[in-house]
């Protein structure tokens, strides 16, 4: 049963724990997830089942929304509450106005250094393993995008933020870097992911409910169609000749409507006349499209 199952990951479970549990009980060997959450974090974890796993890269590339609680005045080596405390600073002089001013530097296209305690690999070794061995780890800053960043509540020393960001953004680094910008330090004390792409926390099933439904088969009614991942994209309905060409790995010839701009490399979802999700196709020019991934009848 290919599709997308949205789980509300509980604290203490790793993302792989959820994948492993569902894989062992749903009858589908191919189960993956889109976007790892730290064990202490909660919230939206999309699981991709069966052939839908081939769409993982597109879901990982979508924006995500988090609600984060930052403990100002506390610095840890892991940038969160699980790490060793390195310093404590009084934050009574930090005002909401000062925080608002500091947040401006963290919006839009920014450079961000990932935490040393992260799963990013160097020479095939995760950085967190190197850091735990006492090796010097200084990840290079890399470009990330922050679509929006707003204060939900500030009750010193606890600061709650809502952040919508792109791929590769670390909320732990935001907590650390914002604390440094305010001159008092900071670390992440709580994190909930409320959205991944078009999938919201309201769409997610909690693990207790899912456990029960996996035993009865009722979980299947929660599975979204694979192409839900792509619903923000343009779509093309193809005739039989073009559909056959795609199934055979050949280019399709599709002329967009007048006024629709198409650039080389643009992606599109393709359907058969009866509405079946057929393929992801990529533009070679305005009228010629190459199959990236074929699903129906492949």
Question: Does residue 38 have an active-site annotation?
Answer: yes
Residue with tokens 């992440």: 188
pLDDT by residue (tens digit) across 67-95? 999 999 999 999 999 889 999 999 999 99
pLDDT band with cut points at 50, 70 and 90 for residue 105: very high
pLDDT by residue (tens digit) across 238-268? 999 999 999 999 999 998 888 889 999 999 9
For each of the domains in the chain, give its residue range(s) and CATH number, in order of start. 3-62+198-226 (3.30.2350.10), 64-194 (3.30.2350.10), 233-294 (2.30.130.10)
Q: Kindly name the residue from 17, 38, 77, 227 that is annotated as catalytic.
A: 38
Cβ-contact 229, 237 below 8 angstroms: no
pLDDT by residue (tens digit) across 273-295? 999 999 999 999 989 999 999 99
Q: Specify the pTM.
A: 0.91
């Amino acid at each position: 049963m290919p599709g997308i199952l949205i789980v509300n990951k509980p604290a203490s479970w790793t993302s792989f724990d959820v994948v492993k549990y569902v894989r062992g009980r749903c009858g589908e060997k191919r189960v993956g997830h889109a976007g790892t959450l730290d064990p202490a974090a909660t919230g939206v974890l999309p699981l991709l089942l069966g052939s839908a796993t081939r769409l993982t890269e597109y879901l990982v590339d979508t924006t995500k929304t988090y609600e984060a609680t930052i403990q100002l005045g506390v610095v840890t080596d892991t940038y969160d509450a699980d790490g060793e405390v390195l310093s404590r600073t009084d934050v009574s002089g930090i005002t909401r106005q000062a925080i608002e001013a500091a947040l401006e530097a963290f919006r839009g296209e920014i450079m961000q250094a990932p935490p040393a305690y992260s799963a990013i690999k160097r020479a095939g070794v995760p950085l967190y393993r190197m850091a735990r061995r006492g090796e010097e780890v200084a990840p290079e800053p890399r470009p990330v995008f922050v679509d929006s960043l707003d204060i939900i509540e500030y009750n010193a020393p606890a600061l709650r933020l809502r952040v919508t960001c792109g791929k590769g953004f670390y909320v732990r680094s935001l907590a650390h870097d914002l604390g440094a910008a305010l001159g008092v330090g900071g670390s992440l004390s709580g994190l909930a992911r409320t959205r991944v792409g078009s999938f919201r926390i309201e769409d997610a099933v909690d693990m207790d409910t899912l456990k029960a439904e996996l035993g009865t088969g009722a979980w299947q009614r929660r599975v979204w169609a694979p192409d839900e991942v792509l619903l923000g994209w343009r779509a093309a309905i193809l005739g039989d000749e073009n559909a056959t060409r795609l199934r055979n790995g050949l280019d399709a010839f599709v002329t967009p409507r007048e006024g629709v701009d198409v650039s080389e490399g643009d992606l599109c979802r393709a359907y058969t006349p009866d509405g079946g999700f057929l393929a992801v196709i990529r533009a070679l020019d305005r009228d010629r499209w190459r199959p990236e991934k074929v699903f129906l009848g492949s």
